[in-house]
Amino acid sequence: MTVTTLRRLLAPLAAALFALLLAVAGATTASADTVPAPTNPSGFLRVGHLAPDVGPVDVSLTRADGGTANVLTTAPYGAFTPYQTLTPGFYTVAMRPAGAAAATEPMLSAPVTVDKGKAYTLLATGTRDALKTSLINDDLTKPPTDTSRVRLVQGSTAAPTLTVAAVGGPTLSRDLAYGQATGYANVPQGRWTLQVLTPEGSEAMTSAPVVDLAAGSVNSLLVTNAPGGGFAITPVVDAKGIDPAMAPTGGIQTGLGGTATDIVNASGSDVAGEVGAVAVGALMLGVAAASRRRKRGVRVDQ
C-alpha cells in the first residue's frame, strides 16, 4: 500500500474520530456547566459513644492548625453529641473522663478530615483499654414525600451480630456486627414495630420495640446494651439542630442493609476517555479491514 493510498484511507476515518472527540468534549463541558457548585461552605461532625464499659466522657475537637479545643458535650454510653458546624479541614477528636482537666491524657484521640458540604458521625467503640474509632457518612437530605429515611447503628456487644426488621416493612439490617452501621432506607412514615433477631434466628428482645418515624425525618436507630441486660433501641433524629439552610445538599448514596458504602459515579473525564478509546479502536479496526480488502484485491484507491 502506497503512502498516498494510506492517506486516502485514513482521511475520512480521522475526520470522523476528530468530530466524535469534539462532541464528547462538548458534552462533558455542557454537563459540567449544568451542575451547580456546592453553596454550603461548612462540614458537620458528631461523635457517638458506643463503648459499654466506659463511663461518661468529655469529647473535645481541636483544629490541626492549633486552634483552641472545643468541648462538645459530656456524653454517656449510647449517646450522640450534637453536630458541630465546622470549617472544612483536619481535626483531632479526643475523649477524656467526664470532668477531667484539659491536660489529662485522652482515653482516645483520632484524626478526622471534614469536607465541605458533608456530614459525619465518628463512632467510638471497644473497651476502656482498647478504644477505636470508625467514621460513617450521614445523609441529611430530605427524603421523598410521606417517607422517613432510617438506618441502624449497632452499638451493642450483647450478641455477635443482629438482624433487625420492621414488621410488615423492610429488613433494616442483616447480621450487623458491633460498631457497624447500615446504609439508609426510605420507609413510609408512621409507627413501626421492630423485630430483633440473634444469629441463631431467635428473638433478641422480650418485647418488640416500637419507633415513630415522622415524614421528612432522617433517623439513626441506635442499638445498645440495656442496663438490666439484653438490648435497647433508641431513635436519634440525625438532622435535628441543623439549620436547614446549612444542611448538606448532596447526600451519600447508600444501600439497604450491610455496612454503609459510598457509590462512586464515573466522572465526565472518565467517560470521555472510554469513548475516545473506543473511537481509536474503531479507527484501527477500519484500517485493518481496509488492508484485508486490499489483500483480497478490492480496489480502495479510486
pLDDT digits (tens, 9 = 90+) for 68-95: 667 777 789 999 988 888 889 999 999 9
216, pLDDT greater than 80: yes
* Residue 25: per-residue pLDDT: 44
When the pLDDT of each residue in the chain is averaged and rounded to a whole number, the result is 74
Per-domain residue ranges of the chain: 9-33+267-295, 142-257
Q: What is the mean pLDDT of residues 190-213?
A: 89
37, pLDDT greater than 50: no
Residue 22: band (very low, low, confident or very high) from pLDDT cuts 50, 70, 90? very low
Q: Which residue blocks in 165-240 are alpha helix, DSSP H?
A: none
Q: 172 burial class (0-12, 13-18, 19+ CB within 10 angstroms)?
A: buried
* Residue 299: per-residue pLDDT: 32
CATH 2.60.40 fits 142-257, yes or no: yes
What pairs with residue 218 in β-bridges? 149
E-only strand ranges, the chain: 43-49, 57-63, 70-75, 79-80, 84-86, 89-97, 108-114, 119-127, 130-138, 147-154, 161-166, 171-177, 185-188, 190-197, 210-213, 218-225, 231-237
* Residue 239: per-residue pLDDT: 77
CA–CA distances in Å: residue 34 to residues 51, 133, 267, 271? 46, 38, 14, 17
* Residue 212: per-residue pLDDT: 93
The three-class DSSP label of residue 235 is strand
Pair 14, 286: CB distance under 8 Å:
no
Give the residue with greater pLDDT, 228 vs 91.
91
pLDDT digits (tens, 9 = 90+) for 141-157: 889 999 999 999 999 99
pLDDT digits (tens, 9 = 90+) for 246-286: 667 543 333 232 222 221 112 222 222 222 333 323 333 34
